[in-house]
Structure 1
């Protein structure tokens, strides 16, 4: 089992950022913004020794950041897979690999140090999502709701 929390914590410490685009650049992953249609929000592909993340150039900044974090999760957790992840990006479960990428995105984008653990128990998922500025589904992945 992959310790996603530890992997993300190490990345944040090493690169001193939670910004997925900056981490992608630091890692030398080829990042492109393209018109990839209405349904696809982004995908990761590994070809031989090259890694590519393609993001739909029609996304707003908020959604772009979430998709970047999710696809970065694929690039780091599933680099050994010679699979192109072309499915529409979703925060809803679609198997182990997608769950891991979603967990990675949640760990990267949500800094639990910003709020005391004792307060989290008394706050609704909706309130936490508003506080962190992320979808409710990411809150569920981060805090195991």
Structure 2
């Protein structure tokens, strides 16, 4: 009597089954590689670089944006805030996209006068145990 261990294939595995799964795995790997190449080539374009330039500031203030967006999301969608929990998926996505657009603009203008976002500055100051300059 053989033990039942589903993670192990007891007996013979047909050639066609093995070949099919191997082919599928290779195709998935090549597809991922193709997507990486496409993203790299598209990013090298000058038009795309100009279009994603505002996202650089948004990324440099990632921790601040994450925390503020989490708090704002709770305030916007919960009962002790605006209570927009009744909105459908489409309206919720529109609210989130609008809020993210506002954050992108604020991040861009914030970093014109400051080196880091507020929480990034706090994190960096705590990490180095030394007061970091915030203003440019």
Q: TM-score under structure 1 normalisation?
A: 0.28
Q: TM-score under structure 2 normalisation?
A: 0.29
Structure with greater helix percent: 2
Structure with greater strand percent: 1
